[in-house]
Amino acid sequence: MAESYSDQIWQIACDTFETICYMFPLDKDEANTLSDNLADMSDIRSAITFEGATKGMMVIRPSYDLLDAIAANMLGVDEPSSEEKEGALCEIANIICGNTVPLFANGERICYLNPPRLLTDLNASEVNSQTGKKESINVFLDEGVAEISIYYFTK
Amino acid sequence: MGMNLLIVDDSPVMRKMIIRTIQLSGLEMESIYEAGNGLDGLELLKHNPIDLLFIDVNMPVMNGLEMLKRVRENPETRDLAVLIISTESHEDRIEMINRNNAGFVHKPFTPEDLKDKILDIITVKG
């Protein structure tokens, strides 16, 4: 049976966290025990839009603990600055999005990513205005959780 | 003796990540120069002895593919070892990169991936 988009996005996200942040996903049983507790989510999100064979937007929102750990592990520093945390989150968004959008492009790999941006509560309404299809996943890692949502149109 | 590197990427975090990944790979570096766009990168290239150039594709002011084209047009730098780093792997871009005699590193990459790509391109440029 073909893997669902959600499963494929989850795998891409896990591979990215593992390769560049040395973080590993929790197994499904552990993740299920945590899935009701998403209260400690950061108010910082990174969004990236894409266009070409498919168009849309991906948004990633980490828990506070994960936001710190992404930058610390990616850069090898103990106490990352705010700029480093935001930059590292944007880079993770860029990599996950770049590897995910071909899934929605019917095998065509011609999709162009715009630079990742930070979304705060002030401009988060941009996310709510997204239409098209939507896939959402949570990735549970030892260091925290990441919510990933992708809004997309296919031709 | 290590290599002199120039890393051209508009993300300071990505530049740090590339440096850290090379350190983890065990390859020796002598000097590291950084630029945030292709135009600044070309300027640094004029004045410094670079052995290996890393270029991101999507950058403001001058993108990575335009920078690569200009590097190859300049007799002083046309044989320089170049690695293009990107998450996007369209066939048209890969073809353009190959045509310009550069290597391609797809993100995300491990220290081993990067080391292999560096050794490949340095060996070819010998």
Domain boundaries along the sequence of chain B: 3-125
Q: Looking at residue A31, what is its pLDDT?
A: 74
Average pLDDT of every residue of chain B: 92
Q: Looking at residue A27, what is its pLDDT?
A: 81
Q: Looking at residue A65, what is its pLDDT?
A: 93
Instruction: Report the pLDDT averaged over residues B5-27.
Output: 95
Q: Which residues contact A129 (CB under 8 A, 6 or more apart)?
A: none
Say how far residue B15 (Cα) sits from the centre of its chain.
Answer: 11
Q: Looking at residue B81, what is its pLDDT?
A: 96
Q: Whole domain around residue A66: which residue ranges?
A: 5-154
Q: How many structural domains compose chain A? A: 1
**Position A89 pLDDT exceeds 80:** yes
CATH of the domain at A27: 3.40.1550.10
DSSP-assigned beta bridge partners for residue B17: none
| A75 with B20: Cβ contact below 8 A | yes
| A110 with B92: Cβ contact below 8 A | yes
**Position A13 pLDDT exceeds 90:** yes
| A95 with B12: Cβ contact below 8 A | no
**Encoded tokens for B10:** 């508009």
Specify which of A28-37, A38-47, A98-107, B71-80 reaches the highest per-range mean pLDDT: B71-80
CATH superfamily for domain B3-125:
Response regulator (3.40.50.2300)
- Taking any CB pair shorter than 8 Å as contact, residues of chain B touching chain A are 10-14, 16-17, 20, 58, 86-92, 107-110
| B13 with A15: Cβ contact below 8 A | no
| A95 with B108: Cβ contact below 8 A | yes
Average pLDDT of every residue of chain A: 87
- What are A94-149's pLDDT values in tens digits? 999 999 988 887 766 667 888 899 987 656 666 666 678 899 999 999 999 999 99
pTM exceeds 0.80 for this model: yes
- What are B41-78's pLDDT values in tens digits? 999 999 999 999 999 998 999 999 999 999 999 999 99
**Position A150 pLDDT exceeds 80:** yes
**Position B8 pLDDT exceeds 70:** yes
Catalogue the E-assigned strands of B57-125.
81-86, 103-106
Give the strand pairing for A117-119 and A45-52. antiparallel
Residue A30's pLDDT band (cuts 50, 70, 90)? confident
Is B97 within 8 Å of B84 (Cβ atoms)?
Answer: yes
Helices of type H across A22-81: 28-34, 64-75
CA distance B50 to B72: 14
Contacts of A91 in chain B (CB under 8 A): 11, 13-14, 17
**Encoded tokens for B94:** 């890969």
Instruction: Report the pLDDT averaged over residues A16-44.
Output: 81
